[in-house]
Amino acid sequence: MTVQGKSKPRHLTKGARRIEILHALEQKLLWLSAWMIHHANHIRPNRDGLKVGGHQASCASCISILTALYFDILKPEDRVAVKPHAGPVFHAINYLLGRQSRDKLETLRQFGGIQPYPSRVKDGGEVDFSTGSVGLGVALTSFGSLVQDYVQLHRLAPEGLAAGRHVAVVGDAELDEGNIYEALLEGWKHDIRNVWWVVDYNRQSLDSVVPDRLFGRIEGLFRDMGWNVVTLKYGRKLEAAFARPDGEELRRWIDDCPNSLYAALTFQGGAAWRAALLADLGRIAGIRAIIDPLSDDELSALMNNLGGHDIETLTEAFRAQDAAGDQPTCFIAYTIKGMGLPFAGHKDNHAGLMTKEQMEGFRAVKRIRPGHEWDAFEGLDVAEEELREFLASIPFAKPLTPEGRALTAPTIHVPAQFPAPRVPAGRKHSTQAAFGEILAEIGRGQGENAELAKRIVTTSPDVTVSTNLGPWVNRRGIFDRHKKNDVFRDAKLASAQRWGMSPEGQHVELGIAEQNLFLVLAGLGLADRLYGARLLPIGTVYDPFVNRGLDALIYACYQDARFLLVSTPSGLTLAPEGGQHQSVNTPLIGMAQDRLLSYEPAHADELAILMRHAFHHMQQPDGSAVWLRLSTRGLEQPERQLDPAAVIAGAHWVVPPAPGSHFALAYQGAIAPEAMAAFQTLREDIPEAGLLAITSPDRLHAEWLAARRKARAGFGAPSWIETLLAPLAPGAVLVSVLDGHPAAHAWLGSVRGQRVVPLGVDRFGQAGDIPDLYREYGLDEAAILDACAQALVG
Ligand SMILES: Cc1ncc(C[n+]2csc(CCOP(=O)(O)OP(=O)(O)O)c2C)c(N)n1
Ligand SMILES: [Mg+2]
């Protein structure tokens, strides 16, 4: 379909005709979204007997909202998160705009086809924000607007690209998610703007109808956070009825009607409405005058005329707010779940699908001829030519770029080497401290680092100083739309930290909410594609609290956001500060998470290689985010020449084994000194033993799996870990140790059939010093030697 129509007679977009056209488009979206789901479930062959699913009722609920947004109000530069279960409506909109093919509409939930919920990576560039895990897409719109401000205020945006509004179409049950309130608080602190959340307030979630009084509270919360709240409760028809004599009685009745009763009456239809209204209001003459002349269908239409289904109410409210400025605004649009479908209002309709018979009835009402189900303009009261012209004339029809909505940005030069911090002989250094120093050095912005330094943005949920970002922040400042001086500094009070804020600052300070951290990283890490500016984001967090933000981290990776995550301190090794703060499972998360390379260096020279690699890798078309798990434990730093490729590939021999050796010891991260000490002892008995430094079980494992796959396809080369282990004898023993769950290394035995004894932490820890803790959890030199002895005797 082409949208390159003739020039548009202006009068068509105005007034009543515009509303008629929008009504026609609503009808088309309702049909197409229902049909897409029906087709996927009932028409496409089903090979495995599993339910395909889809959410016809959720789609129907927000048809008018999405119609008003896309076909009336949105501009090309606006960015939208559509509630997950309305994905089919979103794709139908793009179909009408000529941005989605008919063939593709037939592939909903099929392999290689349209995803159940809008997906940036899998559904293409028209999707601004992926959704699916409820609440996260909503919150990301706030942080997207923050990132857009950052890009604009740092003058990094491409010339001529206007700042857009960030819009979330929100299911009302999404507001039960705590991350929404974390985002609201953080958004308030950052004085975000240009954000609209349009709540599809159908008062239904997945299981049932939601409690009545909750929303009054929620509205207050938005206002407290500096948001404007616009409630769209009633449509034009109901407002007209309320304006008639005694009409206010009807309004009061509806206002007092419990959500569940309203939903049930909606489902039952006109006769039930009449019975209920007559029972309560039948003695009021004005009410009789309103309802008596109406047929059951007309009465039902009147009672269903809520604000979120009334295109005039919606477009008027959006236009008014559009003109009113950039204050964040929450629209509470009252809707009915399943509006216009046979199960409208039924509490069980969330995953309900129309039966074949119901679909045939629906087809008849929508005047769709068999064989014309996918026709964009079938069965409408407005002529195709006029609809095409209208669609070509709306603001959103103008392409953001000739390629679509996905922008690009050139890569930033990364120097070939990051020097590791120099540590005087005999002094110890931790990976966390080295991280802070390397970053601070880049922060000087000198020489080759100048451009790199400009593009780095750091962020942290209240652990900026304790994760060693302090020196970087002192050099580059804290970002805020408004200049705010550092009061302590102005008063000449001693402090190591400069805490001045300005639009030029390059650190986004967050409150303690790890989901916000990952959502900000998602926004920053998509800045090239959303805002046309390459940013190199770094987020720091205590390693155990990656778990607190995990869903948002997965969500950021799912959208292919590019960032460097630095989690520190980690494991038991933070020792006296530990206890609840010990992380055990994070190495496994690092292995299991797609689009995230994870590393745990032990020494500063490895870290320097990996930080350099991270900035490079996150800019590559087939790159990804990168995670570094660090430690506060000071280690002696070896004098050596490393092969960067080996460190990046995940392991290198510190002491290579003699060919045919029957024994090797492997370590990962801050436990290195214990492994090295045990190794010295072992070598007295086994001089041919090798010592392996593992920097990434994730990389080793992923590359090994990939090599296996290639080998099965007949063109394999050995993976790095196969190459590394090749000198060992076939039945050799490999004892490995890390401060994390031992399963991260247990798989190594499968690589060449060698016997692996993985040491690590598999119980909740406690505070203590390192000698006590490593002894208790079996990580000290004695424990390593015991494990070696046991393994060697079989
Ligand atoms: C984090 C998360 N938890 C649970 C679900 C499963 N789920 C999908 S939709 C839904 C209820 C959605 O209700 P609402 O947001 O009101 O959407 P609508 O009524 O518009 O369909 C739930 C619990 C999910 N997608 N994400
Ligand atoms: Mg709902």
CB of 337 sitting under 6 A from ligand 1: yes
CB of 756 sitting under 6 A from ligand 1: no
Residue 681 CA to ligand 1 centre (angstroms): 58
Residue 1 has pLDDT above 50, yes or no: no
The pLDDT tens digits for 282-329 are: 999 999 999 999 999 999 999 999 999 999 999 999 999 999 999 999
CB of 554 sitting under 6 A from ligand 1: no
Residue 266 CA to ligand 1 centre (angstroms): 21
- Return the percentage of the chain with pLDDT > 90, whole number: 88
The beta-strand segments (E) located in 264-420 are 329-334
CB of 204 sitting under 6 A from ligand 1: yes
What is the spatial order of strands in the sheet that 733-738 belongs to? 651-655, 690-694, 663-668, 733-738, 755-759
The beta-strand segments (E) located in 365-477 are 428-429, 456-461
Per-residue HEC secondary structure of 12-34 comes to: HHCHHHHHHHHHHHHHHHHHHHH
Tokens for 398, please give them.
């103008």
- CA separation, residue 445 to residues 440, 449, 472, 630 (Å): 9, 5, 11, 24
CB of 174 sitting under 6 A from ligand 1: yes
Q: Which residues of 629-655 are buried (b: 16+ CB within 10 A; e: fewer)?
A: bbbbbbbebeeeebebebbbbbbbbbb
Classify residue 766 as exposed, middle or buried by CB count within 10 Å of its CB (0-12, 13-18, 19+).
Answer: middle
- The per-residue pLDDT for 794 is 65
Atom of ligand 1 nearest to the CA of 177: 1
Tokens for 686, please give them.
């086994």
- CA separation, residue 666 to residues 590, 657, 760, 788 (Å): 19, 11, 12, 11
Lowest mean pLDDT among 129-138, 413-422, 685-694: 413-422
- The per-residue pLDDT for 457 is 98
- The per-residue pLDDT for 419 is 85
Atom of ligand 1 nearest to the CA of 171: 15
Whose C-alpha lies nearest to ligand 1, atom 21?
58
CB of 134 sitting under 6 A from ligand 1: yes
Q: Which residues surround ligand 2, an ion (CB under 5 A)?
A: 171-173, 202, 204
Residue 6 has pLDDT above 70, yes or no: no
Residue 240 has pLDDT above 80, yes or no: yes
Euclidean distance between CA atoms 760 and 739, whole angstroms: 6
Euclidean distance between CA atoms 690 and 444, whole angstroms: 40
Atom of ligand 1 nearest to the CA of 350: 21
Atom of ligand 1 nearest to the CA of 337: 19
Residue 171 CA to ligand 2 centre (angstroms): 5
Mean pLDDT of 763-773: 93
Euclidean distance between CA atoms 101 and 99, whole angstroms: 7
CB of 205 sitting under 6 A from ligand 1: yes
Mean pLDDT of 668-693: 97
Residue 239 CA to ligand 2 centre (angstroms): 23
Contact of 297 with 303, CB cutoff 8 Å: no
The pLDDT tens digits for 357-404 are: 999 999 999 999 999 999 999 999 999 999 999 999 999 999 999 888
Euclidean distance between CA atoms 633 and 569, whole angstroms: 9
CB of 366 sitting under 6 A from ligand 1: no
Cβ within 8 Å of residue 674, ≥6 positions away: 667, 737, 774, 779, 780, 781, 784
Euclidean distance between CA atoms 667 and 651, whole angstroms: 10
CB of 429 sitting under 6 A from ligand 1: no
Cβ within 8 Å of residue 249, ≥6 positions away: 281, 284, 286, 287
Residue 746 has pLDDT above 80, yes or no: yes
Find residue 200's DSSP bridge partners: 171, 333
Q: In 3D, which of 267, 322, 344 has the Cα closest to residue 57? A: 344
Atom of ligand 1 nearest to the CA of 205: 13
Q: In 3D, which of 693, 687, 671 has the Cα closest to residue 784? A: 671
The beta-strand segments (E) located in 135-253 are 166-171, 195-201, 228-232
Residue 240 CA to ligand 2 centre (angstroms): 27
- Angle at alpha carbon of residue 342, lines to 351 and 336, rounded to 5°: 70
Mean pLDDT over each residue of the chain, to the nearest integer: 95
In this structure, how many other beta carbons lie within 10 angstroms of the beta carbon of residue 384? 12
Find residue 737's DSSP bridge partners: 667, 759
| Phi–psi pair at 460, nearest 5 degrees | -160, 140
In this structure, how many other beta carbons lie within 10 angstroms of the beta carbon of residue 183? 27
Whose C-alpha lies nearest to ligand 1, atom 8?
206
Find residue 738's DSSP bridge partners: 668
Ligand closest to the CA atom of residue 86: 1
- CA separation, residue 741 to residues 554, 571, 580, 591, 779 (Å): 20, 9, 16, 12, 12
Residue of 206, 337, 343 best suited for mutating to test ligand 1, as the one with most atoms within 8 Å of CB: 206
Euclidean distance between CA atoms 168 and 79, whole angstroms: 9
| Helical axes 15-38 vs 384-393, angle rounded to 10° | 100
Ligand closest to the CA atom of residue 58: 1
Q: Higher-confidence residue: 772 or 212? A: 772
Mean pLDDT of 594-602: 98
Segment holding 628, helix H or strand E: strand 625-629
- Angle at alpha carbon of residue 224, lines to 220 and 225, rounded to 5°: 120
- Return the percentage of the chain with pLDDT > 70, whole number: 98
pLDDT-derived band of residue 7, with 50, 70 and 90 as boundaries? very low
Residue entry with tokens 């309103």: 290
Residue of 62, 85, 199 best suited for mutating to test ligand 1, as the one with most atoms within 8 Å of CB: 85
CB of 58 sitting under 6 A from ligand 1: yes
CB of 202 sitting under 6 A from ligand 1: yes
Q: Give the HSE-up count for residue 684: Cα atoms under 13 Å, Cβ half-sphere.
A: 5
Whose C-alpha lies nearest to ligand 1, atom 7?
206
Whose C-alpha lies nearest to ligand 1, atom 20?
171
The pLDDT tens digits for 445-500 are: 999 999 999 999 999 999 999 999 999 999 999 999 999 888 888 888 888 888 88
Residue 345 CA to ligand 1 centre (angstroms): 16
Contact of 186 with 223, CB cutoff 8 Å: no
CB of 540 sitting under 6 A from ligand 1: no
Q: Which residues of 208-236 are buried (b: 16+ CB within 10 A; e: fewer)?
A: ebbeeeebeebbebbeebebebbbbbbbe
Residue 88 has pLDDT above 60, yes or no: yes
CB of 662 sitting under 6 A from ligand 1: no
Atom of ligand 1 nearest to the CA of 175: 15
Tokens for 94, please give them.
């793009």
Euclidean distance between CA atoms 251 and 272, whole angstroms: 18
In eight-state DSSP terms, residue 616 is H
Segment holding 665, helix H or strand E: strand 663-668
Tokens for 159, please give them.
């010339």
CB of 85 sitting under 6 A from ligand 1: yes
Residue 160 has pLDDT above 50, yes or no: yes
- The per-residue pLDDT for 211 is 76
Residue 220 has pLDDT above 70, yes or no: yes
CB of 61 sitting under 6 A from ligand 1: yes
CB of 173 sitting under 6 A from ligand 1: yes
Contact of 391 with 8, CB cutoff 8 Å: no
Atom of ligand 1 nearest to the CA of 174: 15
Residue 77 CA to ligand 2 centre (angstroms): 28
pLDDT-derived band of residue 426, with 50, 70 and 90 as boundaries? confident
| Phi–psi pair at 653, nearest 5 degrees | -75, 120
- Alpha-carbon dihedral sign for residues 102, 108, 112, 116: positive
In this structure, how many other beta carbons lie within 10 angstroms of the beta carbon of residue 679? 24
In eight-state DSSP terms, residue 575 is G
The beta-strand segments (E) located in 233-381 are 329-334
Contact of 142 with 166, CB cutoff 8 Å: yes
Lowest mean pLDDT among 211-215, 691-695, 788-792: 211-215
Q: Note the helical H segments in 462-582.
A: 470-476, 487-490, 514-524, 527-531, 550-558
How would you classify residue 250: left for phi > 0, otherwise alpha for psi between -120 and 50, otherwise beta? alpha
- The per-residue pLDDT for 577 is 87
Residue 173 CA to ligand 1 centre (angstroms): 6
Give 102-168 as a DSSP string.
HHHHTTTTSTTS--SS--HHHH-TT-SS---STTHHHHHHHHHHHHHHHHHHTT-SPTT-PPPPEEE
Contact of 792 with 733, CB cutoff 8 Å: yes
Contact of 647 with 654, CB cutoff 8 Å: no
CB of 133 sitting under 6 A from ligand 1: yes
For the chain, the residue count is 794
- State whether residue 280 is helix, strand or coil: helix
CB of 208 sitting under 6 A from ligand 1: no
Residue 517 CA to ligand 2 centre (angstroms): 27
CB of 516 sitting under 6 A from ligand 1: no
Euclidean distance between CA atoms 765 and 781, whole angstroms: 19
Mean pLDDT of 408-425: 92
CB of 352 sitting under 6 A from ligand 1: no
- The per-residue pLDDT for 2 is 31
CB of 209 sitting under 6 A from ligand 1: no
- The per-residue pLDDT for 574 is 92
- The per-residue pLDDT for 490 is 83
Residue 15 has pLDDT above 50, yes or no: yes
- Angle at alpha carbon of residue 449, lines to 447 and 452, rounded to 5°: 145
Euclidean distance between CA atoms 695 and 287, whole angstroms: 76
| Phi–psi pair at 596, nearest 5 degrees | -155, 110
Q: Kindly state the greatest CA–CA separation across the chain.
A: 104
